[in-house]
Amino acid sequence: MFLEKDLSGRPRKGWIEVVCGSMFSGKTEELIRRLKRAKIANQRVEIFKPVIDVRYSVDEVVSHNENAIRSTPVDTASNILLLTGDVDVVGIDEAQFFEPALVEVCNKLANMGIRVIVAGLDMDFQGKPFGPMPQLMAVAEFVTKTHAICMRCGSLANFSHRLSLDEKLVVLGEKSEYEPLCRECYNENKK
């Protein structure tokens, strides 16, 4: 496969970066920051998110701090490959909502010489690995784990505690439905 050349004349190399953590830990904020820096560097950037994420906007990735960047909503991971044009960087938000094929899609993009930045929850509300995130972390060159602040004790939080009794795996929500908790407070709450 032909790879473009970087500024030094060497073939361009791709890689995968994963930004993961609990809700309210700054994952999307970090994704947006990295993508905006890539745009400042005149890199060609495409951003995708799952079509089900319409909490703030249909066609933007938006952080809880209301920072936003234009994105393309897709219903399957394979559509990311179909919609990726001539780019240097691909950003993917809310990766936990995609099917396992997202791992193969990210690998293909990186093998094409594209920098892939993926953000998502590493665990669901039950404290279990969420969707394709564990596999993405395994194949990524770089993994950044972000932490929120525990709403009960002020320690570092890495669990997303659901406040409602809804048992469905996917319940889109904000601070009225979820709160970040540390391990001790999360386990205490489960009793």
Q: Which residues are catalytic?
A: 94
| 137: helix, strand or coil | helix
- Rounded Cα gap, residues 159 and 126, in angstroms: 9
CA angle in degrees (0–180, nearest 5) for 136-120-14: 45
CA distances from 6 to 34, 88, 113 (A): 19, 10, 10
Residue type for position 147? H
- Rounded Cα gap, residues 139 and 11, in angstroms: 21
